[in-house]
Amino acid sequence: MSTLNGKRALVTGASRGIGKSIALALAAEGADVAITYERSRDKAEALVAEINATGRKAFAFQANSADPQAVKDSIDQAVDALGGLDILINNAGIFQYGPLEALDLATLNSVVDINIKSVILASQAALPHLPDGGRIINLGSVLAERVPMPNLSIYSMSKAALIAFTKGLARDLGPRGITVNIVHPGPTDTDMNPADGEGSDAMRDAIALGRYGKTEDVAAMVAFLSGSTAGHITGAGFAVDGGYGA
């Protein structure tokens, strides 16, 4: 049974990895989907073709998530292409690690602009278009609440900020029946964090299930929260981490 028939969704930063799997999962449940990408145009266009082949509508728009105007424009483009917007998935983000004493201002600004400000701005721009009962889902990190290794302070800070934003916005939008939740991926096999990459063995040892997650694992949670059966879930966080944070 398709749970999102007739729904229209935007997934930011979705040309690859977790974002791509989210877009595919939403389309599989019946939604028409728009995505944003920064540089991977070929991958974005291939994803659009893959979704269109299933009978759903798909669109891709180039947007630098560090650029406030580009973030706002991408919402307008998605609304125009889809004929409206029911679901916003704030997935775009960057991973930055290293000792605080080596952090330069440009790097700090990039983390704040992309991981925090773009989520706020996209949500703000989407609000006039979201109907009562709409959905906003933010992508956080299992490192937002527990930091088990050094040199992650800035990244963890940026994802922790999204927890407070999610809870506050859930309160704000509750009267309209719009739910706002956050999904926290753990170690997930992507090109940014491959299951066979440097340090992966130590990370795998900390996962209760003993294996890296798949992007589809995270996408399944996002698809569930996007559907009608999750209508009484808001302001909540969900770890999809194989027990990494247990």
Statement: residue 4 has pLDDT above 80: yes
How high is the pLDDT of residue 128?
98
Give yes or no: 212 in active site: no
What is the average pLDDT across 93-120?
96
Backbone angles phi, psi at 92, to 5 degrees: -60, 135
How high is the pLDDT of residue 2?
77
Mean pLDDT of the chain: 96
Annotated active-site residue in 37, 155, 212, 244? 155
Q: Where are the domains of the chain?
A: 8-240
pLDDT in tens, 120-150: 999 999 999 999 999 999 999 999 999 999 9
How high is the pLDDT of residue 193?
85
How high is the pLDDT of residue 116?
98
The CATH number assigned to the domain with range 8-240 reads: 3.40.50.720
Q: What is the pTM of this model?
A: 0.96
What is the average pLDDT across 62-84?
98
CA terminus-to-terminus distance, the chain: 33
Query: Strand order of the sheet with strand 237-240?
Result: 58-62, 32-37, 8-11, 87-90, 135-139, 179-185, 237-240
Statement: residue 1 has pLDDT above 60: no
Determine whether 147 is exposed, middle or buried from the number of CB atoms within 10 Å of its CB (0-12, 13-18, 19+). Answer: middle
pLDDT in tens, 163-216: 999 999 999 999 999 999 999 999 999 988 888 888 888 889 999 999 999 999
